[in-house]
């Protein structure tokens, strides 16, 4: 079997390599790169490419790193299209909608959960997303949450225990008891399968004190914090995330100056999720304000059955450029390298030596077309660890 592959005739290559002296995306024109045993081995101009065992002619397309989805909720069962339709008719969204998914998720078998996860993972992959973080959070009992992260660990890249999404009906009026159950029962068992601990610190979900207790317990069991914060109103989610050195705080729609300053002086990534704001008619986050302050920004789709039922990062890039005031370059970086930073990964989100060979080819001469041609399926080929997972017959393979 061939061990090295040369990808050549690339019109525009986005490397995200800061060593390339051509802006934040590290763009190389008329480019080529070599993949060897699933990793990037060499990158440069096509005219200087060394030999390889196989050669792929990309036929003048743009190539960029695979998108990195750092925020999704794929451990679920059921459909909430009726709720969506009602909301579009003027019914205001509040966090209680999450409860409508809990019953069906709790009754699902392992195979049903896995089949559903794989379905949406495959959707992501076809659209250029090669790494997906998957959260639990629709079981909200010890047994169901442990089941969810255990199943997710068999078929996803990054697994998060969303221990505190919203308290289930049986804990109505007894949220502190739910938090204590999560600390005593859920987290110790789920920590065997998850890497991350997450909490929805928000009005209608969990208070700052309850969120702090959940995150503290997660850290004590070796989990790394993430936070849903400041989505529906101003609150303490951002400052709590920075306090815990969380990898990311996600949504970040309503921010004070103190929130922005704290993020700018921290290691915590601000993840914007415009699909959720699009689907709930919420305000969009001001990504321009964050970027101008020096905050690291990631961009995700937030696929979930209630408030952002999309797996299309290109769709979110288009929204980010139009409504979050990001440039096309900034949005692409946020969806690739930004997502990698939100997962504290340095082996993805870039095309440079040593990185995993996760990338896509576009039916376009450059990455700008992702925002320039919204809604058009431009992804013509996707590779994960050097293997073509989805591709067009027009992509030519030539034996070297």
Extract the annotated binding site for 4-imidazolone-5-propanoate.
Answer: 80, 138, 165, 231, 307
Annotated binding site for Zn(2+): 71, 73, 228, 302
Number of other residues whose CB lies within 10 A of the CB of residue 288: 14
Q: List the binding residues for Fe(3+).
A: 71, 73, 228, 302
Structure tokens given for 134: 């998957």
Which of these, 171, 174, 197, lies nearest to 186 by C-alpha position? 197
Residues making up the annotated binding site are 71, 73, 80, 138, 165, 228, 231, 302, 304, 306-307
The structure tokens 């689907």 sit at 279
What are the distances in angstroms from CA 270 to CA 300, 303, 343, 363? 11, 17, 12, 30
Cβ contact 358:131 at 8 Å: yes
Residues comprising the binding site for N-formimidoyl-L-glutamate? 138, 304, 306
Helices (H), the chain: 81-88, 99-106, 110-126, 142-152, 175-181, 187-190, 208-220, 237-243, 257-264, 274-280, 287-292, 313-323, 328-333, 339-342, 369-372
**Regarding beta strands 387-391 and 379-384, do their DSSP bridges make them parallel or antiparallel, or are they unpaired?**
antiparallel
3-state SS of 52-117?
Answer: CCEEEECCCCEEEECEEECCCCCCCCCCCHHHHHHHHCCCCCCHHHHHHHHHHHHCCCHHHHHHHH
CA distance 85 to 150: 33
Instruction: Say how many CA atoms lie within 13 Å of 209 toward its Cβ.
Output: 3
Smallest CA-to-CA distance from 195 within 130, 149, 127, 145 is with 149
Sorted by sequence, the CB contacts under 8 Å of residue 173 that are 6+ apart come out as none
* Torsion angle in degrees (nearest 10) through CA of 201, 172, 90, 102: 80
Cβ-defined contacts of 106-109 (< 8 Å, 24+): 106/139, 106/141, 106/144, 107/77, 108/77
């Amino acid at each position: 079997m061939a061990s090295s592959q040369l990808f050549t005739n690339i019109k525009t290559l986005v490397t995200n390599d800061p060593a390339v002296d051509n802006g934040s995306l590290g763009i190389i024109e008329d480019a080529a790169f070599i993949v060897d045993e699933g990793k990037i081995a060499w990158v440069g101009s096509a005219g200087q490419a060394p030999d390889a065992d196989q050669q792929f002619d990309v036929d003048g397309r743009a190539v960029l790193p695979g998108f990195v989805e750092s925020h999704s909720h794929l451990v679920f069962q059921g459909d909430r299209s009726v709720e969506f339709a009602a909301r579009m008719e003027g019914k205001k969204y509040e966090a209680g909608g999450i409860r409508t998914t809990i019953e069906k998720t709790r009754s699902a078998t392992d195979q049903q959960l896995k089949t559903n996860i794989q379905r949406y993972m495959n959707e992501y992959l076809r659209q250029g997303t090669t790494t997906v973080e998957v959260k639990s959070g629709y079981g909200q009992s010890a047994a169901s949450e442990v089941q969810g992260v255990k199943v997710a660990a068999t078929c996803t890249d990054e697994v998060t225990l969303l221990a505190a999404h919203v308290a289930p009906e049986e804990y109505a009026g007894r949220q502190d008891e739910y938090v204590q159950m999560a600390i005593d029962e859920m987290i110790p068992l789920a920590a065997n399968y998850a890497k991350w601990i997450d909490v929805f610190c928000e009005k209608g979900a969990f208070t700052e004190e309850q969120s702090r207790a959940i995150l503290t317990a997660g850290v004590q069991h070796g989990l790394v914090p993430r936070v849903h914060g400041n989505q529906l109103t101003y609150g303490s989610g951002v400052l709590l995330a920075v306090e815990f050195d969380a990898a990311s705080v996600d949504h970040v729609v309503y921010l004070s100056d103190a929130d922005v300053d704290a993020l700018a002086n921290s290691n915590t990534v601000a993840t914007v999720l415009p699909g959720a704001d699009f689907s709930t008619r919420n305000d969009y986050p001001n990504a321009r304000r964050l970027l101008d302050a020096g905050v690291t920004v990631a961009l995700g789709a937030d696929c979930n059955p209630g408030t952002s039922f999309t797996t299309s990062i290109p769709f979110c890039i288009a929204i980010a450029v139009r409504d979050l005031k990001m440039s096309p370059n900034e949005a692409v970086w946020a969806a690739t390298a930004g997502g990698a930073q939100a997962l504290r990964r340095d082996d993805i989100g870039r095309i440079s030596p040593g990185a995993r060979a996760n990338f896509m080819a576009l039916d376009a001469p450059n990455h700008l077309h992702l925002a320039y041609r919204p809604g058009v399926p431009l992804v013509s080929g996707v590779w994960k660890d050097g293997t073509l997972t989805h591709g067009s017959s027009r992509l030519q393979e030539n034996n070297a």
